[in-house]
Structure 1
Amino acid sequence: MKKFFLPLIAIFALVLSVSCSSNDDGPIIDPDPDPVNNKLSGQITSDMTLTNDVIWELDGRVTVTSGATLTINEGTIIKAYAGQEASAAVLIVARGAKIEANGTADKPIIFTSIADNIALGQKSGTNLTENDRGLWGGVIILGKAKASLSGDALENQIEGIPASDTNGLYGGSDNADDSGTMNYVSIRHGGTSIGDGNEINGLTLGAVGTGTSISNIEVVANVDDGIEWFGGSVNVSNAIVWACGDDALDIDEAYSGTISNSVAILGNVSDHALEIDGPAGSLEGRFTLDGITLIGNTTTENGEYADLRDRAMGTLKNIYAVGFKADSDVELDNNAVAQNFLDGKLSFSNWTVSLPNGVTEAKNIFAEKTGEGESQIILNPTFTERAASWATAGNSGGANLSSFSWTYAKSKGAL
C-alpha cells in the first residue's frame, strides 16, 4: 500500500488546487448548486447558465457585461429581492452581451418577486395577484441598433438605471445587432421605483437589433409600462401584457420593428393600451403593429385605447379592441402627429371595435386633439370622419389567442 501513498497525495493536491482556484472574470458556478446559495448579484462577466433544478435569486442590479452570455434553461424560476432606487433588483443585458432564455409552453422561464410562493416545477404561486406590483425591478436588454435620440446623439442612458452606470447605455448604428433570445418568458410583479416618478418597465428594449429573437413574452403587474421599445429594430411576436400601472405597449425614439400577434390587457389602474411616440432626433423610423388585441377595463380612471404623440410614425393594422369605456379613444395628440398622418407616415387599416355602451359607430373612438399652444385641428375631413374607412364594429379579430394558452394571464381568466 505504501507505494500508492505519494501518487494519492499528488492527486489530492491537484484536486484541491483546481477547486480553490479563483476566477476573476466572473462568478464560479457549482455544477451541483445548493439552493440556498443561488443568489445573483453584481456583474456577470463570463458565460453563465441558470439551471431549472433550483430557484435563483436576483439581488440588486445584476448586469451581463459585454462579451458574456447568460443562458437560462427552460422552466427556470428567478426570484428578485425588493429594492428601491440604486439598489433596485434588475437584470441588465448590456450592449455586446447576450441572453439566451429559451423556455417552452410547458416550461416557461419565470421572473418574479422573492415574495412569490411559486415552487420548483410550478407555473404560478398562490399568494400574489395581478394587483401586486412594484416588488422588484424588471428585465432590461440594451443593444447597438439605431435610435432617434435628442440632439442626434448616437447613444443614451436607458431610463430606470442611474447615469453613473455606463452599462445602462444603448444605441449605435448596427440594426442587425444580436442580443440573444427571449422565448416563453414571463415577467411578473416588477416596476420598483428608482426615483420620483421613475420606475422600471417589465421588459425594456433599448436599441435592440433584428439579430435578436423575442417571442412568447408575458409581462404581468408591473408598476410602469409592460414592454417599452426605445428605438431599435427587433421584431417581437406573441407578447402579452396584463394589468400594468401605466401603458401596456410603449414605443419611443423611432422604433422600426414589427410587433405581431400580441395582446394588451388593461388592469384597474392601467393607462393606455398603446402609447406611441415618434423620433426624438432627425432620424426617422416606422414601427408596424399587426394582429393586436386590445382589452380594456371600465374601472380604470384613464384606460385609453391608444395615444399617438410627438411625430409618431408607423402602421397599425389588423387591430381588435374590446372592453373599453365609452369615453376611451385613439388619440392624435397634436398637430405634428396629425401632419404625419396626412403625409402617410402614420397609417391605420382593418380595425374592429366591440362598441362600448353609448358608442354608435367604430369611427367615433378616433379623435384628434391639439397640443399645447395649438389652437386649430388641421385635419379636414376630421380624423374621426376618415376612420370610417378602416374601422368597423364587430366582435372578433386581432391576435390569435391560442398562442397564449401557456400564460399566467390565461390561467387567471384574463383572456
Structure 2
Amino acid sequence: MITVIGHDGSPLPEPARQALAEAALVVGGARHLAALPVPETARTVVMGDVTAALEEIGEQAEKTGGVVVVASGDPGFFGIVRALRERGHRVRVLPAISSVAAAFARAGLPWDDALVVSAHGRELRRAVNACRAHPKVAVLTGPGAGPAELGRALFPQHPRVFVVCEDLGGPHERVVRCRPAEATTRPWRDPNVVLVLDETRPAAPRGWIAGARPGPDRWALPEEAFEHRGSVVTKAEVRAFALARLGPRIGDLIWDVGAGSGSVAIECARFGAAAIAVERDADSCERIRRNVRAHGVRVAVSRGRAPAVLEHLPDPDAVFVGGGGPQVVRACAARALRTVVVALASLERVRPTLDALTAEGLTAQAVQLQAARLAPLPGDVHRLAATNPVFVVWGDRNPAPLPSPPASPSRRPQTLAPLPETDQ
C-alpha cells in the first residue's frame, strides 16, 4: 500500500503526519519535501523525472513498503494517482483541496459549470480551443503552457478575463486579474492555475451535470433554424453527414470556409468545438453573426477571400468547405490536422477536389447524397419531393484503422434446470 498525500499549504491532518513519520521513502516536489515534516530516517526522491521516481517507488514498495508520495492539492485530479494505479499499485489517498477548487474559491465564483482542462505536459492548442468556445474554463498550466502563452493565443480575437492564481497555499500565493494582452507581458510563478472567463456571456443556468454543458439535444437542424439568403444554406441531410465526418468535439477548432449562413460552424459550436466562419461578403458576415446570437454559441467570423484570409487563422482540426475551388480545398487540406469535408453541387468538380485532397496527403473519398422529402398534396395525400443532389468529398489525414468486430464465441448447449413444482 502506497500512501499519497495531497498538500495545499494547510497543516497536515493526523493520518498524513503519521504516514510521513513511518515512511521509509518519501517522494514529492522539492517544495513539498522542504515544507513537510519528513523524518531524517526516510530516503527522499525529488519528483522531477516522473518515470524515474515511479521506478524508485516500485522498487521500495516491493522491498519493505513504507512509501509516501506527496503531491499538490488533490492527487487524484490530473495527478499522480493515475500513474500509480496504471502500474498496479494499491494506494491510500489523503487529498487536500484541489488547485481548481482553490482558484475558484479565491475568485469567489461557482465552478460546477466550469470546464477544466490540463495543458501540463499536454498540447496547449486544445486548451486554447476550449477557451475559445466556452465561457468559463480552468486551465492547469505547465512549462511553456502558462498565462503568457494562453494570452498570446487568445488576444485579440477572443476578449477574455484571466484570473491567474499563483502558488496557491504557498508562501508566494498571488491572485491576479488581468486581460490576455497583459498576461503576455508579465512574469508568472509556477505552479499556477488560470481561470479564463468570458464575462460578456450570461451566467449559465442552474444545471444537473458538472463541467461543460452536454451536447445538443439534436443536430442537423432544419434550414428554417438559420437566416439565409435565397436558400443558400447547407441542407439538413448534407449537414448531418458533414458533421459525422468532421467529428467536432471539445478542444477542436473547425473552419467553415464559404460559410454562407454559418450553419455548419454553428452546429460544430453546439457540440463544444471552437469554430471560425470564413466569408468574403459583408452582408453574409452580418447574417452569420445574427445566426450565432440566435443559437447562443460562440463562432468567430473572419471576413476575407480564401485562400489568402486563411493564412491569418490558427490551424484547424477539421475544415468544411462550402464554397471555393480546388485552390481553396488544397489550402485547407495543407493546414487541417485531421479532416476536410467539401460539399459540391456539380459532378465535374469532384475529381479536382479529390486530387487536391490527395495532393496534401489525405485519404480521400466521395459520396452523392440526395434526399426525397415528404410533401403534402391536396386530398390528405403526399408525394416525395426530391432535393438537388449534392456530392460530398472528404479527406482524412492518417485515418485510424477501424476496430475489428469481436469473434462470435462458440456457444455450448445449455440444459435448463426444471422449474420447481407449485401447488395449483
Which interval holds the TM-score relative to the shorter structure?
A: under 0.3
Which structure is higher in strand share? 1
Which structure is higher in helix share? 2
